[in-house]
Amino acid sequence: MKKLTFDDVKDILVGCTILSTGGGGDLNKGLKMVKEDFENNLEYKLISLEEIEDEALFASPYFCGSIGEEGDKGNYSKYTKIKKSPAVVAVQALERHFQEEFSGMVSIEYGGMNTAVAMSTAARLNKFIVDADAAGRAVPDLQFSTFYVSKKSITPLAVADDVGDIAVFVQVVDDFRAEDLVRSLSVVSGGMVGMVDHPLRGKELRKAVIPGALSYAQMVGKAQRQALKEEKDPIKEIIKAVKGYLLFDGIVKKDTEWENKGGFTLGSIEIEGKENFTGQNFKIWFKNENIISWRNEKILVTVPDLICVVETDTGYPLTNPFCKKDMQVSVLGFKAPSVWRTERGLSILNPRFFGFDVPYIPIEEKLK
Amino acid sequence: MKKLIRQDLYDILYGCTILGTGGGGNLKKGLSLIDKALDDGKEFNLVNLEELPDDALIVCPYMCGSISPLSEEEEKKYADLPRIKEEPALKAYKVMEEYIGKKFYGVISTELGGANTAMAFYVAALSGNYIIDADPAGRSVPELQHSTFFINRLPINPMVVANEFGDVVIVKDVVDDFRAETLVRSMAVVSKNSVGVVDHLASGKELKKAVIPGAISYALKIGRAYRKAKKENSDLALEIAKAGSGYILFRGRVKDFQWEDKDGFTIGNTYIKGEDDYFGTEYKIWFKNENIIAWRDQKIDVTVPDLICMICDDKKEPLTNPNYEIDMKVSVIGLPAPKEWRTDEGLKIFGPRYFGYDIEYIPIEKCFKELDK
């Protein structure tokens, strides 16, 4: 077990945001939440998968939102907001359901916001933060999680809004139905609910998530922070820290074009090369997260490998759809966590799922 | 305790449909549920509130729907999902029993209506439990808070919601009954517009103070009068009015009707042209799922909470909204509301003012002369 300092947590969240391939929520909101916790002297206790107890109970808390909902559905605004975070309320509701306390919280996917919610919820309830993640990147759909790959049940799951309503799902047809139902509740609950799902015993959890995922993200965030402090090139330092690849350097051609469709943000980023890439161009297509990239009109890196856009000068992550015209950016590539490269992993997260009829070629082969 | 036979059950559901004042769901669906249970050898046992033990546990099962149209994509999505074998309301009942960890004694209906009362009966029969001779509305009502549960502050939660696919959710805490309804309805929207619900868990002691006693027996009385009149080819409206200590309000033919789906409610007007004794006059009924206010020649005639019931004299069947046809021969019957609705608190939430009509409620018996008995 390791107690994290504020800088440690910040490194983890910056790292998660860089590795979240454009998604994962608002880093600033995540940092604000964590800052509040440290001001309240809460402890962030990181525990490795080796250290957790076999029979202890763990679960993943996060926020589930519905984008683009208008109006005050369900007359929601007239209700008094509760002070607690809905994710905290949801965890406590699930504990009452189990009649047992959870030992720790697990991040459902990398993201400046999502990972922060998991960590902060753990801190607020004096629980462990498990050094692991269920995606090792950010993912646009529910089924892109290692829980799904390893066939772990999403239920029982608890949902709470920020006025005091609580529901526990005891049984669902599948994860997709769970998502539909939770989303329908969020639509009439101010557009956002806190939830906690995938309750698992330690011995099952070990086989169902990516080990060391937060430490890995921390290496990325730390490399970025120290590079700036020591006036080194943050891009090079990040790449060195976790064996990444520089895919492109350049200037964003125009403001990102995007649309909201079925609850997702879809769009593309176009970059014109400079320095070693002068005269070349780069394009990324995203569905919340960066899915596929082309260098000079030829497919380069695709899911499940990671395509990450950062500011060239600072190495600071850029989330979708916030790439603006004339920004100087670098595109980094990283190997996907090994679970996504297994047969079952690839059968779920691959370019074809998103409508691109091309085979997946691992980044290290592509960039040999 | 009284064991209900098929004839009783049919009479009750017909009575409920008449007392449904235009709402309360599809009678055919209700009758088929009853048939299904009887054909499986199940029993329907009715107990009155005096017989109900104080420590007995009772719940209220029903179906909650939404009428949003399904997109092609949704149709396809639903078509691919598995189906459970039992009625969602029964599934919800079983999960609630398991969640509470105690055996339930019986069920109470959520309102009197052709389908809703039948669903409560069905759940009782299939689970081998009792039906309580009472109801929280004593008629059909358009909104959740139009219930003596609400007036008497009986908590709605915990609730169990289940759909035909097998998704089951326990709504443990709600801020109030309105949020409860909003949350349940939102789940119906993504469940092919229909979920089974079980709520208002109460002990016998709590329930006795929070419902209208004898409501099922009352429906049975109305249904019997209807059946007898139909068999003997006598005046349906008159016999029903007599059985319910009510009045004939109007007779004539449907001249026009319009309605729309608005926020999940069926809202509209029915216009009737007088015949016989009523020749030369006109009647109008405004409905929000149920018939709410009636005007005779533009003058307010009867309002909620009193019951405005309609019979189709051509088909000799009770009418539900908005199933009218132009020129259909109809009779309108007025019945006095259960006394629970005539209290100050009852009128506050279920009087004409609640529906935006700034008029005093005048009990029906003060406006009309007694029928010749």
- Give the model's confidence band at B351: pLDDT under 50 very low, under 70 low, under 90 confident, else very high: very high
Q: Does the pLDDT value for residue B373 go beyond 60? A: no
Q: Which residues of A touch B71 (CB under 8 A)?
A: none
A88-97, B16-25, B75-84, B361-370: least confidently modelled range:
B361-370
Measure Cα distances from A143 to A23, A134, B209 in Å: 16, 11, 49
- Half-sphere exposure in the Cβ direction for B292 (13 Å, CA): 24
- Residues A187, A317 within the same domain: no
Q: Which of A164, A171, A181 sits opposite B190 (nearest CB)?
A: A181
Q: Does the pLDDT value for residue B5 go beyond 50? A: yes
- Residues A164, A42 within the same domain: yes
Considering its fold, how many domains does chain A have in total?
2
- Residues A78, A185 within the same domain: yes
Q: Please report whether residue B233 resides in a domain.
A: no
- Residues B195, B251 within the same domain: no
- Give the model's confidence band at A121: pLDDT under 50 very low, under 70 low, under 90 confident, else very high: very high
Q: Which residues of B touch A84 (CB under 8 A)?
A: none
Q: For residue B297, how many other CB atoms are within 10 A of its CB? A: 11
A256/A342 Cα distance (integer angstroms):
33
pLDDT value at residue A67: 56
Q: B186 and A167: CB-CB below 8 Å? A: no
pLDDT value at residue B151: 93
Q: For residue B1, how many other CB atoms are within 10 A of its CB? A: 9
Average pLDDT over residues A278-304: 96
The residue ranges of DSSP E strands in A37-177, in sequence order, are 45-47, 57-65, 104-107, 128-133, 157-160, 166-171
Q: Please report whether residue A296 resides in a domain.
A: yes
Tokens of B247: 């009045």
- Give the model's confidence band at A25: pLDDT under 50 very low, under 70 low, under 90 confident, else very high: confident
Q: Give percent of chain B with pLDDT exceeding 90.
A: 88
Q: Is A93 exposed, middle or buried (0-12, 13-18, 19+ CB in 10 A)?
A: buried
Report the CATH number at residue B187.
3.40.1610.10
Q: Which residues of A touch B189 (CB under 8 A)?
A: 184
Q: Which of B172, B175, B185 sits opposite A93 (nearest CB)?
A: B172
**d(CA A157, nearest CA chain B) in Å:** 9
Q: Would the CA dihedral through B5, B11, B13, B15 be positive or negative?
A: negative
Report the CATH number at residue B290.
2.40.390.10
- Residues B267, B192 within the same domain: no
Mutate to test the interface with B, among A72, A79, A82, A185 (most CBs of B within 10 A): A185
Domain that holds residue B96: 2-213
- Residues B207, B67 within the same domain: yes
Q: Does the pLDDT value for residue B300 go beyond 90? A: yes
- Residues B139, B279 within the same domain: no
Q: Which of B81, B173, B174 sits opposite A173 (nearest CB)?
A: B81
Q: A167 and B170: CB-CB below 8 Å? A: yes
B206/B169 Cα distance (integer angstroms):
25
**d(CA A241, nearest CA chain B) in Å:** 45
- Residues A207, A351 within the same domain: no
Q: Please report whether residue A216 resides in a domain.
A: no
Q: Please report whether residue B240 resides in a domain.
A: no
- Residues B308, B361 within the same domain: yes
CA angle (B265 as vertex; B264, B267 as ends), nearest 5:
145
Q: Please report whether residue B229 resides in a domain.
A: no
Domain that holds residue A14: 2-211
pLDDT in tens, A315-346: 999 998 889 999 999 999 999 999 999 999 99
Domain boundary among the residues B162, B189, B213 is at B213
Q: Which residues of B touch A187 (CB under 8 A)?
A: 186
- Residues A9, A158 within the same domain: yes
B274 versus B185: the higher-pLDDT residue is B274
- Residues A86, A32 within the same domain: yes
Q: Please report whether residue B65 resides in a domain.
A: yes
Cβ B201 vs Cβ B59: under 8 Å: yes
Q: Please report whether residue B101 resides in a domain.
A: yes
- Residues A183, A279 within the same domain: no
How many A×B Cβ pairs under 8 Å? 82
pLDDT value at residue B111: 96
- Give the model's confidence band at B372: pLDDT under 50 very low, under 70 low, under 90 confident, else very high: very low
Q: A171 and B168: CB-CB below 8 Å? A: yes
Q: Which of A164, A173, A181 sits opposite B169 (nearest CB)?
A: A181
Q: Please report whether residue B225 resides in a domain.
A: no
Q: Does the pLDDT value for residue B206 go beyond 50? A: yes
- Residues B207, B276 within the same domain: no
- Residues B206, B264 within the same domain: no
Q: Are strands B159-162 and B106-107 parallel, antiparallel or unpaired?
A: unpaired
Q: Please report whether residue B230 resides in a domain.
A: no
A62-76, A244-258, A314-328, B3-17: least confidently modelled range:
A62-76
Q: Which of B95, B165, B170 sits opposite A177 (nearest CB)?
A: B165
- Residues A146, A20 within the same domain: yes
- Residues A167, A274 within the same domain: no
Report the CATH number at residue A252.
2.40.390.10
- Residues B96, B40 within the same domain: yes
Considering its fold, how many domains does chain B have in total?
2
- Residues A44, A135 within the same domain: yes
Q: Does the pLDDT value for residue B336 go beyond 90? A: yes
Residues 52 through 91 of chain B touching chain A, CB cutoff 8 Å: 81-82
Domain boundary among the residues B193, B213, B233 is at B213
- Residues B184, B266 within the same domain: no
Residues 141 through 180 of chain B touching chain A, CB cutoff 8 Å: 165-175, 178-180
B182 and chain A in contact, CB less than 8 A = yes
- Residues A24, A129 within the same domain: yes
pLDDT in tens, B242-267: 999 999 999 999 999 999 887 778 89
Average pLDDT over residues B211-224: 98
Q: What is the mean pLDDT of chain B?
A: 95
Report the CATH number at residue A172.
3.40.1610.10
Comparing alpha-carbon positions, the chain A residue that sits nearest to B186 is A184
Chain A positions touching chain B (beta carbons under 8 Å): 73-75, 79, 93, 96-97, 163-173, 177-178, 180-181, 183-185, 187-189
Q: Which residues of A touch B186 (CB under 8 A)?
A: 74, 184-185, 187-188
A55-59, A126-130, A260-264, B6-10: least confidently modelled range:
A260-264
pLDDT value at residue A72: 67
- Residues A171, A275 within the same domain: no
A161/A108 Cα distance (integer angstroms):
19
Q: Does the pLDDT value for residue B371 go beyond 60? A: no
ipTM (interface predicted TM): 0.88
A224/B113 Cα distance (integer angstroms):
67
Average pLDDT over residues B290-295: 97
pLDDT value at residue B370: 56
Q: Please report whether residue A136 resides in a domain.
A: yes
Contacts of A144 (CB under 8 A, 6+ apart): A135, A348, A349
Q: Which of B99, B172, B190 sits opposite A167 (nearest CB)?
A: B172
Q: Which of A168, A173, A184 sits opposite B187 (nearest CB)?
A: A184
Contacts of B150 (CB under 8 A, 6+ apart): B144, B177, B349
| Diameter over CA atoms, chain A | 63
Q: Which residues of A touch B182 (CB under 8 A)?
A: 73-75, 188
Q: Which of A75, A166, A183 sits opposite B172 (nearest CB)?
A: A166
A262 versus A348: the higher-pLDDT residue is A348
A1/B97 Cα distance (integer angstroms):
42
Q: Please report whether residue B373 resides in a domain.
A: no
pLDDT in tens, A186-212: 988 988 899 999 999 999 999 999 999
What pTM does this model have? 0.90
Q: B167 and A177: CB-CB below 8 Å? A: yes
Q: Does the pLDDT value for residue B144 go beyond 90? A: no
